[in-house]
Structure 1
Amino acid sequence: MKKIYIAGPDVFEPNSIEIGKEYSALCKEYGFKGLYPLDNIVDFSQEKKKIAKDIFVANVNLIEEADIVIANLNPFRGKEADSGTIWECGYASALGKKVYGYMDDTSEYINQFSKDEKKLVNNLHVDSNGKSIEDFSHPINLMIACSCYEIIKGRFEDVLSSLVNKKI
């Protein structure tokens, strides 16, 4: 049975434990074993930096154990995906694991900025801070888009369904 590491900012939701149980149950329903970061056992009575390091090591171990990573790449605290999730995707990709992402909006990144949030300067789109906006026909930064085997419009279960249909 292939193992899926479930990456995303869902761990910050108030009902994060329930979300993890739901995603793990969906994995089982589709013939996979789900590995959810909050399944790790961490001693929270330690000094904060030790807790952080223990969480990091435990999640790295889960990624290494996994065959596949499914990542929630929806914007988190801004226009970009969660930075921890992005790191997990990059690490998994470097290990040669297949990474799949899902997003509610898979339109081109450039089109996710309203007319008030961008302007054209020297034939280059820039944001309100004058920083160029990527325009490579991906819904997210090219480094993540190109490290993902596929980014699916939809939810976690849509990726699972896609994997089963591809007989992965």
Structure 2
Amino acid sequence: MKKIYIAGYDVFKKDSIQIGQYYCELCDKYGFEGLYPLDNVVNFEQSKNKIAQDIYKANVELINKSDIVIANLNAFRGKEADSGTIWECGYAKALGKDVYGYMNDNQSYLDTFKNDERQLVDGTYVDMNDMAIEDFDYSINLMIACSVKEMVFGSFEDCLKELLK
């Protein structure tokens, strides 16, 4: 049975444990074993730095054990995906694992900036800090968009269904 590491900012939600259980149940339904970061056992009665190191090491080990990574790449605390999730995708890709991403919709990254948040300067869109806005018709940064095996516009379950095609 192939193992799927479930990456994403869902671990920060109030009902994160229940979300992880649900995702693991979906994995089982489709013939996979789900590996959810919050399934790790970490001692929280130690220094914050030690806790962080333990979480990091445990998540790396789960990615190492996995065959596939499915990542929630929806925007988190802004216009970009969670930076920890992006690191996990890059690490898995470097190990030669298949990485699948999912997002709610396929709006281009440029279009996530409202008209009053961007302006066209010499043929290039820039944000309010005069920084160029990536415009390649992807919903996410090109380095992620070009490295995932498949970007699914829908839910975690939709992504699982894509694996079976």
Same fold per superposition (TM over 0.5)? yes
1:34 equivalent to 2:17? Answer no
The RMSD of aligned alpha carbons is 0.7
The DSSP-based 3-state class of the residue aligned with 1:147 is coil
Distance 1:96 1:31 in 2: 21
Distance 1:123 1:162 in 2: 37
The DSSP-based 3-state class of the residue aligned with 1:135 is coil
- The one-letter amino acid of 2:33's match is K
1:85 equivalent to 2:85? Answer yes
**Pairwise CA distance, 1:121:** 0.6
TM-score (norm 1): 0.96
What is the match of residue 150 of structure 1?
A: 150
**Pairwise CA distance, 1:108:** 1.6
The DSSP-based 3-state class of the residue aligned with 2:74 is coil
- Report % sequence identity: 64
CA-to-aligned-CA distance 1:71-123 (integer Å, 9 cap, x gap):
00000000000000000000001111110000012222112211111100111
Which residues of structure 1 form unaligned runs of 5+?
none
CA-to-aligned-CA distance 1:119-162 (integer Å, 9 cap, x gap):
00111000111110001121100111111111111110000011
The DSSP-based 3-state class of the residue aligned with 1:5 is strand
What is the match of residue 72 of structure 2?
A: 72
Give aligned pairs, total.
165
What is the match of residue 123 of structure 2?
A: 123
1:138 equivalent to 2:141? Answer no
The DSSP-based 3-state class of the residue aligned with 1:108 is coil
